[in-house]
Amino acid sequence: MATARYDRLIDDLRSEYRPQREWAEGRGLFLVIGHFLVGVAAGTWLMGLLYGVIEALIVAFALACLGGLAHLAFLGRPERAWKMMTRTASSWIARGFWGLSLFLAGGFLCLVPELWTGAPWSANSALSMAGYGLAFAGMVVLIVYMGFVYTSSKAIPFWNSPLHPVLYIAYACRGGTAALIIVMTASSRPIETGSALLEVWMAITAVVAVLWLLELQSAATGGNTAARRSVRELLAGRVALYFYGGILVIGLAVPAVLVAGIAAPLSQATLAAIGLASVVGDFFMKYSSIRAGIYLPLRTHHE
Amino acid sequence: MVIDLKRCIGCYGCQLSCKAEHGTPPGVLFARVLKREEGQYPTVRQIFLPVLCNHCEDAPCIDVCPTGASFRWEEDGIVDIDHDKCVGCRACMMGCPYNNRYFNEERLDYFHDAGATPYEEARTMRHQDGVVMKCNFCRDRVRAGKEPACVANCPTVARYFGDLDDPTSEVSRLIKERDGFTLHPEVGTGPAVYYLPQ
């Protein structure tokens, strides 16, 4: 296993277009999972607040906890994770660490009295309200920071795009809406509520699709050779399966067919299936766009 | 540092001397040489490009590091890593436009199944795993008045080391006289490694 990894690294170093593997393969997969979970958690918290669904807040908190654990599993030295609090002035990862910490602390403060009647503080207490405030601040940071983590990666031209943060914000909203649809169907709310949410989901999905097209188009036409290579990896390379199968089919085509009522009439089960397919598609969006990253080649200018 | 591409013969002496100096584990190459063949028979030539950390003036690896593990020594401008602070998030690897950072994920032996040699026990095992590693211009040697190992051991004297801030230094003169260039100037990081054209 270790030998294979070493041989692959040497092969990568010899290749003109070196694929980035650190943030998507091996232990790096935990980062993709962590970013996915935390993004959906923040979006779900936002939608849960907007629609006043306490179950969604609980799900968001649980997802954020799992996302935090995934981040720790990704780190080479998780026991030093607290040191990531120190460089908020320039590092988006440090800001994200604060965001997640605030979100978890705030979520704990406001959800405990909602779930446990014998809690030392009540749901309307100042502590609980402060919890909502902290969680909201953390949520905003979590929705925003991830895209900037990738945009600030100067070695990967495909990510180094101003559209990336906007795409991640849109994906957090889409993930949150989809998760809220699942939560509402699971808690047997009236189907009308789910249908109304579906319209929101469709609007956000349209924005996401346009952003994706813009990002691919700008990388393919205005980007350098590494960015173009990344687009090729997505559309016809080693990540194409995840792009077409995960993002387009599962994340877009399946929900579209279900929304149109071609496969089945709109029901609680159909709504849940739409939400689930959307969330799975979101995972593949993150996975494939991260894996498609190609390092800036070193030979561009001197020859 | 200035690297004369006209003089480089692609012997990998810099890579080997760096390995010997730092005792880096397998898969960690502070200095390496990129080699490529160009042209068609009978006019074929090999091109060598020695690469290492560029110790950028505006280093993106320092900006993206969430712990301050990546930092710059104020007295000499060398970009270094405090391994006791590194959490192994690898953001610096994604930030470095020169691909010259390595993640030492877990212990690897050079002779895999045979286990670590006494040399490896003495040298490579002292490095932490789960952290990112990179060239530090052999700072200990420089502080002791010596040149970095890759410079001192280059058999064709293709490498020069000196003070870029001093306009009278040999490196400054070479860059000026022979139109020295940096890799990826468009990224705007202000690299401190210059190349002299072939």
Tell me, yes or no, if A156 comes closer than 8 A to chain B by beta carbon: yes
B28 within 8 A of B100, measured Cβ to Cβ: no
- Using the predicted structure, report yes or no on whether residue A301 has a pLDDT greater than 70: no
User: pLDDT for A73-96, tens place per residue?
Assistant: 999 999 999 999 999 999 999 999
A302 within 8 A of B184, measured Cβ to Cβ: no
Mean pLDDT value across residues A235-256: 95
Cross-strand partners of B102: B133
Chain A residues inside the 8 Å CB shell of B54: none
Tokens, residue A296: 């800036």
- Using the predicted structure, report yes or no on whether residue A222 has a pLDDT greater than 90: no
Question: Taking CA atoms, what residue in B is nearest to A98?
Answer: B66
Domain holding B32: CATH number? 3.30.70.20
Q: Which of B63, B67, B181 sits opposite A302 (nearest CB)?
A: B181
**What pLDDT was estimated at residue A277?**
96
In this structure, the strands spanning B2-4 and B194-196 are: parallel
- Using the predicted structure, report yes or no on whether residue A2 has a pLDDT greater than 70: no
Question: Taking CA atoms, what residue in B is nearest to A92?
Answer: B64
Query: What domain range is B105 assigned to?
Result: 2-196
B residues 44-103 closer than 8 Å to A (CB): 47, 49, 51, 60, 62-69, 85-91, 93-99, 103
**What pLDDT was estimated at residue A140?**
97
Tokens, residue B43: 């006019």
Phi, psi of B103 (to 5 degrees): -95, 120
User: What's the mean per-residue pLDDT of chain A?
Assistant: 92
Mean pLDDT value across residues A9-21: 87
**What pLDDT was estimated at residue B146?**
95
Tell me, yes or no, if B155 comes closer than 8 A to chain A by beta carbon: no
Mean pLDDT value across residues A213-239: 92
**What pLDDT was estimated at residue A1?**
60
More confident residue, A118 or A236: A236
Residues of chain B with pLDDT under 70: none
Place of tokens 């480089």: B8
User: pLDDT for A36-47, tens place per residue?
Assistant: 999 999 999 999
**What pLDDT was estimated at residue A146?**
94
Q: Is the peptide bond before A297 cis (omega within 30 degrees of 0)?
A: no
Are B96 and A155 inside 8 Å of each other by CB? yes
- Using the predicted structure, report yes or no on whether residue A300 has a pLDDT greater than 70: no
B1 within 8 A of B150, measured Cβ to Cβ: no
User: Which domains, ranges and CATH numbers included, belong to chain A?
Assistant: 19-291 (1.20.1630.10)
For residue B55, give every residue at least 6 positions away whose Cβ sits within 8 Å of its Cβ, in sequence order, or none: B77, B78, B79, B137, B191, B192, B193
Q: Which of B63, B99, B105 sits opposite A18 (nearest CB)?
A: B99
- Using the predicted structure, report yes or no on whether residue A35 has a pLDDT greater than 60: yes
Instruction: Please give the angle made by the CA atoms of A91, A92 and A98, to the nearest 5 degrees.
Output: 100
Chain A residues inside the 8 Å CB shell of B36: 299
Tell me, yes or no, if A4 comes closer than 8 A to chain B by beta carbon: no
Task: Give the residue from A248, A38, A301 showing the smallest Cα distance to A147.
Answer: A38
Rounded to two decimals, the ipTM of the complex is 0.90
Question: Taking CA atoms, what residue in A is nearest to B88?
Answer: A76
Three-state SS annotation for B72-110: ECCCCCCEEECCCCCCCCCHHHHHCCCCCCEEECCCCCC
For residue B155, give every residue at least 6 positions away whose Cβ sits within 8 Å of its Cβ, in sequence order, or none: B9, B11, B13
What is the percent of chain A where pLDDT is above 70?
Answer: 98
Question: Taking CA atoms, what residue in A is nearest to B103?
Answer: A22
User: pLDDT for A147-156, tens place per residue?
Assistant: 999 999 999 9
For residue B138, give every residue at least 6 positions away whose Cβ sits within 8 Å of its Cβ, in sequence order, or none: B21, B22, B146, B147, B148, B149, B150
- Using the predicted structure, report yes or no on whether residue A303 has a pLDDT greater than 70: no
Banded model confidence at residue A253, pLDDT cuts 50, 70, 90: very high
B52 within 8 A of B100, measured Cβ to Cβ: yes
Mean pLDDT value across residues A117-129: 90
A residues 11-70 closer than 8 Å to B (CB): 13, 18, 20, 22-23, 26-28
- Using the predicted structure, report yes or no on whether residue A302 has a pLDDT greater than 50: no
Three-state SS annotation for chain A: CHHHHHHHHHHHHHCCCCECCCCCCHHHHHHHHHHHHHHHHHHHHHHHHHHCCHHHHHHHHHHHHHHHHHHHHHCCCHHHHHHHHCCCCCCHHHHHHHHHHHHHHHHHHHHHHHHCCCCCCCCCCHHHHHHHHHHHHHHHHHHHHHHHHHHCCCCCCCCCCCHHHHHHHHHHHHHHHHHHHHHHHHCCCCHHHHHHHHHHHHHHHHHHHHHHHHHHHHHHHCCCHHHHHHHHHHHHCCCHHHHHHHHHHHHHHHHHHHHCCCCCCCCHHHHHHHHHHHHHHHHHHHHHHHHCCECCCCCCCCC
Tell me, yes or no, if B143 comes closer than 8 A to chain A by beta carbon: no
**What pLDDT was estimated at residue A262?**
78
Place of tokens 């990179």: B134
Are B130 and A299 inside 8 Å of each other by CB? no
Domain count within chain B: 1
CA distance B45 to chain A (A): 13
